[in-house]
Amino acid sequence: MPYTPVWYMRQAGRSLPEYWRVREGISMLDSCTRPDLITEITLQPLRRYDVDAAILFSDIVVPLRAIGVNVDIKPGVGPVIDPPVRMAADLESLRPLEPDDVPYVTEAIQALVAELDERPLIGFAGGPFTLASYLVEGGPSKSHDRTKAMMYGDPELWHALLGRLADLTISFLQIQVAAGASAIQLFDSWVGAVGPDDYRHAILPHTSRIFGALETAAIPRIHFGVGTGELLGLMGEAGADVVGVDWRIPLDEAVRRVEPGKALQGNLDPAVLLASWEVIEERALDVLSRGRTAEGHVFNLGHGVLPDTDPDALARLADLVHTASAR
Amino acid sequence: MPYTPVWYMRQAGRSLPEYWRVREGISMLDSCTRPDLITEITLQPLRRYDVDAAILFSDIVVPLRAIGVNVDIKPGVGPVIDPPVRMAADLESLRPLEPDDVPYVTEAIQALVAELDERPLIGFAGGPFTLASYLVEGGPSKSHDRTKAMMYGDPELWHALLGRLADLTISFLQIQVAAGASAIQLFDSWVGAVGPDDYRHAILPHTSRIFGALETAAIPRIHFGVGTGELLGLMGEAGADVVGVDWRIPLDEAVRRVEPGKALQGNLDPAVLLASWEVIEERALDVLSRGRTAEGHVFNLGHGVLPDTDPDALARLADLVHTASAR
C-alpha cells in the first residue's frame, strides 16, 4: 500500500446517527442476527470514512447465543448471561458451533464481500479470557474475581472451559473466512487483567490454537486487548500477525516488546477525538511517526470509537493518515 | 526491620464482618466523619492480622465533601458528584481545606496513634487524576471520556483544576501528618488510564507538588495506581519514596522501570486470595522472591482486598510474609 492503512475499532455502530436510525426498535443482539442489518451497519462507516477495511458488525457473544447460551445485551450494562458457567457440569451448555447456527453471518459476509469489491472485510470474534469472564461472572465485571478465582484455583476446569471457547471461536472464525472475510481480529478485550506468567500458562495455549487453526487460511490475524502493555510480546507469540496496542504505551515502545516480523495496530486514545482538530492532528502525527519504527503499522484507535465522537473528525482523521503517510 | 513488612490496601472495611456490624445504618461517608468509627474501623484488621501498618479508614472524596462539594457514595456504584466540575466557573466550588473542615480526621488520628503505640499509621488521600475524574464525570467512569477531553482539549482549565486538587490534597495530608500519621499513601487509582507522555505533562507536576510539600515531614510517601506499568518510573520521579505496583507487571520487571533509591510495594493479585492456601502460598513466595531485587519491598496486594476475601487467608498470608522473609 502506498500509505499507512487505517480503520477504527467500533467504526460501525453507536457513534453514527444512521446506525441508531436502522436499529430503532431492534435489540442489539437481534440486529446481529439479521443479514440485512449486519450488512447495512457494516457498510455505514464506509460511506463516511475513507478507511481501508470494513469490520463485520457483530458482538463477541453472538456465537454463544447461537449455541443456545441465554445471553442478552442490556443497554448501559453489557452482556448478561444467566445462568453463569461455574462448574464442570455447566460446560455441557457450550456445544460446538456449526455453520447452520449462524446462517445470518455467512449470508451477510457474502453480501458484504460482493459489495466491498477490493476493500477487505475483517472478521470478528471474542478472545478466550473475555468470553470466559462474561460466562463465569454472568455479566460485565470490573475485577473478574470469580473468573480469576477459577483460573488460579481450578486449572483443570479453567482449561476445559477455555478449550470449549477456543473450539467455538475457531468455528466462528472459520465460518467467516469461508464466507469471504479477508482478515480476522480476535478481541480479547479484558485479557489485560492478567499478568504475563498467567497469560502464558492459562490463556496463550488456547489463543495459540485459535490462530493456528486459521494458519491455512493465509489471512492476516489481528489480536487486540486493552491494557496489555506487558502481554504484547506474548500476544504475538500466540500467533497474531498484527498486535493491537491501546494508548497506554507509546507505539515505539510497543515495537520493542513484540518480536520481529509482526505488525502493530493502533494506538490513538479514542478520547483525543473529543478535543479540537489541532489536538487530533498533532496526536495522530505522533502515532504515525512512532509507528514508522514498526515492521508494519495499521493506524487505529487504542480502543473502540467513543459514543460521543464526531464522525466528521473520524473522516478527517482517515484522510490525514493517508496523506501524512503517503510514500 | 528483620523481615519484609506487609499491609493490605483495603485491609479495613468491606471484607470484615465486624466492619459491617459497626457500619449498620450508617452511610459510608458518614462513617468517615465520625472519629469513633474511623478509629474502630482502622483498628479492626489489626486485631486479626499481624500487619506492619494501619491505614486510616477514609475515602478519597472525604476532603471534597469537607469543603462543601455535593458528593455521595452510592452502594454498588461509587462516588456520585452533582453538579460535576466542567467549566472554569465551577472551580470556585473547590476552596482551600482548613484543619477545622476535618476535625474528625485529626481526632481519629490522634486516638489511633495513642492506641497503635509503635505501629505506623499510614495517612490517605486521592491523587489528582482520580479526583479530577470523579469531579468531571460526576461519578465513576470506565473510560474517563470527559476528563480526558478536558486534559487533551483545554490544558489551561485542566491545570487550574489539578492545581486546586493538589492544594486540597496537600492540606489534607499535612493535617494527617500534623495529627501523627507516620507515612502517607497517595492513591491515584485510575491514573493508569493515561499514557506516559500525558502523565509527564498533565499530571506529574501536580503530584510532584504534593510530594514536595511533604518533603519536610520526612515520612515515607507511597504512590499507587492501577494499571500503571508504563508510569512506574514517572511515579517515582514525582517524588514517591515507595512506588505501588499492581499485579499486571512482575515485581522484578517493575524494579527495572523505577529509578534506584525507590522501594516498591505490592503486588499479589487480590483474586489469588480467592483460591486455596497452596495457591496463595506459592504466589506470595513468588512475589517475595521477585521483591528481593528491589532496594526495598513492602508486601501488599496489587489492589484493594476484594469483598469476598476470607480474613483468615489474609491473617495466614501476613504470617507467611514475615516467616518467609525473615533475615
Q: Catalytic annotation on A59?
A: yes
What percentage of chain A carries pLDDT values higher than 90? 97
CB contact under 8 A, B143 and A303: yes
Task: Locate A325 and state its grid cell.
Answer: 503517510
Question: In chain A, where are the structural domains located?
Answer: 17-325
pLDDT digits over A214-250, tens only? 999 999 999 999 999 999 999 999 999 999 999 999 9
Q: Can you give the pLDDT at residue A327? A: 78
Give me the catalytic one of A19, A49, A52, A59.
A59
A134 an active-site residue? yes
Q: Do A193 and B248 touch (CB under 8 A)?
A: yes
pLDDT tops 80 at residue A1: no
Residue A10: predicted pLDDT: 97
Chain A CA closest to residue B192: A248
- Residue B14 bears catalytic tag: yes
pLDDT in tens, A128-141: 999 999 999 999 99
Task: Determine phi and psi for B79, rounding to 5 degrees.
Answer: -70, 135
Q: Are B303 and B267 in contact (CB under 8 A)?
A: no
d(CA B95, CA B91): 8
Q: What is the percent of chain B where pLDDT is above 90? A: 97
HSE at residue B71, side-chain half, CA atoms within 13 A, is 29
Q: How far is A155 from chain B (nearest CA, A)?
A: 11
Chain A interface, best mutation among B133, B148, B245, B286, by max A CB count within 10 A: B148
> Does the beta carbon of A275 lie under 8 angstroms from any beta carbon of chain B?
yes
Question: What does the H/E/C string look like for A129-159?
Answer: HHHHHHHHHCCCCCCCHHHHHHHHHCHHHHH
Residue A273, min C-alpha distance to chain B (Å): 8
> Distance between CA atoms of B122 and A105, rounded to whole angstroms?
56
List chain A residues with CB under 8 Å of B195: 247-250, 269
Residue A150: which of A69, A90, A210 has the closest Cα? Answer: A90
Q: Do B152 and A194 touch (CB under 8 A)?
A: no
d(CA B172, CA A292): 46
**C-beta neighbour count of A327 within 10 angstroms:** 6
B279 touches chain A (CB under 8 A): yes
A77 part of contact set with chain B, CB < 8 Å? no
CA distances from B163 to A292, B213, B252, B255 (A): 37, 13, 34, 30
A28 inside 8 A of chain B by CB: no
User: Active site includes A241?
Assistant: no
B313 φ/ψ angles, rounded to the nearest 5 degrees: -65, -40
Active site residue A23: yes
Check CB contact of B270 with chain A, cutoff 8 Å: yes
Is residue B87 less than 8 Å (CB to CB) from chain A? no
Quick one: what percent of chain A has pLDDT higher than 70? 100
B274 contact residues in A (CB cutoff 8 A): 145-146, 148-149, 152-153
Q: Are A149 and B276 in contact (CB under 8 A)?
A: no
How large is the ipTM? 0.95
Q: Write down the catalytic residue from A8, A10, A19, A101.
A: A10
Mean of the pLDDT values across residues A53-62? Answer: 97
Q: Where are the alpha helices (DSSP H) in chain B?
A: 17-23, 28-31, 35-48, 62-66, 103-116, 128-137, 145-153, 155-179, 196-198, 204-213, 232-237, 251-257, 277-291, 311-325
Pick the CATH number of A17-325 from 3.30.310.50, 3.20.20.210, 3.40.50.300, 2.40.30.20: 3.20.20.210
**Yes or no, beta carbons of B306 and A145 under 8 Å apart:** yes
Contact of A279 with chain B, judged by CB distance below 8 Å, is answered with yes
Judge whether residue A204 has pLDDT over 80.
yes
pLDDT in tens, A190-199: 999 999 999 9
Instruction: Report, as an integer, the average pLDDT of A144-150.
Output: 97
pLDDT tens per residue across span A24-33: 999 999 999 9
Nearest CA in chain A to B194: A248
**pLDDT at residue B284 in the model:** 98
Q: Which residue has the cell 506499568?
A: B229
pLDDT of residue A76: 85
Average pLDDT over residues B4-14: 97
Is the pLDDT at B300 greater than 80, yes or no? yes
Q: Are A161 and A85 in contact (CB under 8 A)?
A: yes
Query: For residue A73, what is the enclosing H or E element?
Result: strand A71-74
Query: Which residues in chain B are closer than 8 Å to A193, comparing Cβ atoms?
Result: 248
Mutation for testing the B interface, residue in A10, A248, A301, A303 having most B CBs under 10 Å = A248
Given B134, B164, B269, B290, the catalytic residue: B134
Phi, psi of B171 (to 5 degrees): -60, -45
